[in-house]
Amino acid sequence: MADFRGGYDLADYSPFNVSQGLVTGCAVCGRMDNLSRCGGCKVVSYCGRDHQVSDRPAHKAFCNKIKKARAKLDKEEGTLRAHPGDWMLPANPLESEQAIGRFWGLVGTRDYMRARFGVVDAQLKINTRQAVETALDHMLDMLCLCRGDNMSLRDIVPALFLRLGRDQECYDFCKWWVTTGRKGDYDYSDTSLPYLDIKNADVFEPVDPFIGTYPNLTGTIAITLLKIRLLMDLQTLERAKQQAGPYVPQEILDNIRKHAVSSVTASNRGILDRDQTPHISVLEAQVTQLFQTVHEANKHFWPAMLEPGENLTTRPQLFGRGDRQEMQIKLQYWYNAWIETPGAIGVIKELSKKYTKGS
């Protein structure tokens, strides 16, 4: 059995907030100019005081959770920075070469790391781009402090990359953990070694590293969603070509690029110009492989993705590989990333009808 985030206090846990789409402007009207941030949480913006006041009843509980979590983090950070150093912990470990990269191994740092995760947890109950970006920045910095990732932040980071449209970074991150990160001789305490250094890996390449023996459930969920995003883009391109003929007008390609689900497609003209048929077939096969791998790793996950119910609000403290509690934790990390990708859950629904009947 694994414990949840190394003993994070569930009393500080905020209820799940289902996303209606990641908000990038005013939380009430969506306006993008002349915005000011909430002074409490600092991750929600408004175009004026009227909208901030009207949103206060819905926002207040989430805002207060963030303020409380941040106050706790400030206290723990102050304690660490003031630490004079002893045989267990170097002075000011947040800036010590002896500590950075090895945090969890130094017991005195753990309250700080738990408090920092508490801020992340509270921020991720607010579905704004600012909140997701800030939470991701926290977690990437925490991974630099603790390379071995004893808090399993790698289960959450890929979802945030995808929610922010940073698909390539998501793929690179996941690939590092199933390649270099899995090597038995990789020394996480040696900060001179390259870390999370895979860049611009081929997102269309075979999925073998993600579906091998003892696959990482979260990594496989991440790559499934990423491949579905690519697949839906290529299908859109192919439909446009069939409707417009062999030479698709530039304005249509530009419109597809603008509305592409995956940023990989939107940023690569070579993908837009090529014949999509063989690539669609390959992606369809890969998505099926990944779907089946997730189902075999945890048979509860896909049914819960289709009908989440109370699984989004139940917060188990312990879980085991393949059990319902594992599903509940992973689902809460991933549900918003999936519903923010139009059509993605529909793909899972069709695959579920085809492959999981009677299982």
- Per-residue model confidence as pLDDT tens digits over 208-218: 999 987 788 99
pLDDT at 3: 43
pLDDT at 8: 47
User: How many distinct structural domains can be found in the chain?
Assistant: 1
Q: Which two tokens stand for residue 114?
A: 């738990």
pLDDT at 356: 63
Of 296, 291, 289, the residue nearest 322 (C-alpha): 296
Of 169, 167, 161, 171, the residue nearest 133 (C-alpha): 161
pLDDT at 274: 79
pTM above threshold 0.85: yes
pLDDT at 287: 98
CA distance 115 to 313: 21
Is residue 327 included in any domain, yes or no? Answer: yes
Is residue 266 included in any domain, yes or no? Answer: yes
Task: Please name the residue ranges forming H helices in the chain.
Answer: 49-81, 110-123, 129-145, 157-163, 167-178, 208-211, 217-244, 250-258, 263-266, 269-273, 277-297, 301-306, 324-339, 344-355
Tally of residues, the chain: 359
pLDDT at 13: 56
Is residue 247 included in any domain, yes or no? Answer: yes
Q: Which two tokens stand for residue 36?
A: 């000011």
Is residue 272 included in any domain, yes or no? Answer: yes
- Which portions of the chain are predicted below pLDDT 70? 1-14, 245-246, 356-359
Contact 66, 13 (CB under 8 A): no
Of 275, 339, 285, the residue nearest 308 (C-alpha): 339
Q: Is 322 left (phi over 0), alpha (psi -120 to 50) or beta?
A: left
Contact 168, 160 (CB under 8 A): no
**DSSP H or E stretch at residue 37:** strand 36-37
Q: Which domain holds residue 172?
A: 165-359
CA distance 182 to 216: 10
Is residue 73 included in any domain, yes or no? Answer: no
Contacts with 210 (C-beta within 8 Å, 6 or more apart), sequence order: 174, 178, 216, 219, 220, 223, 290, 293
Residue 265 CB neighbours (<10 A)? 21
Is residue 126 included in any domain, yes or no? Answer: no
Is residue 98 included in any domain, yes or no? Answer: no
pLDDT at 92: 95
Distances from the Cα of 15 to the Cα of 24, 65, 121, 163, angstroms: 22, 10, 10, 19
Is residue 80 included in any domain, yes or no? Answer: no
Buried b (16+ CB within 10 A) or exposed e, 162-194: bbbbbbbbbbbbbbbbbeebeeeeeebeeeeee
pLDDT at 14: 59
Contact 217, 298 (CB under 8 A): yes
Of 144, 168, 173, 172, the residue nearest 156 (C-alpha): 173
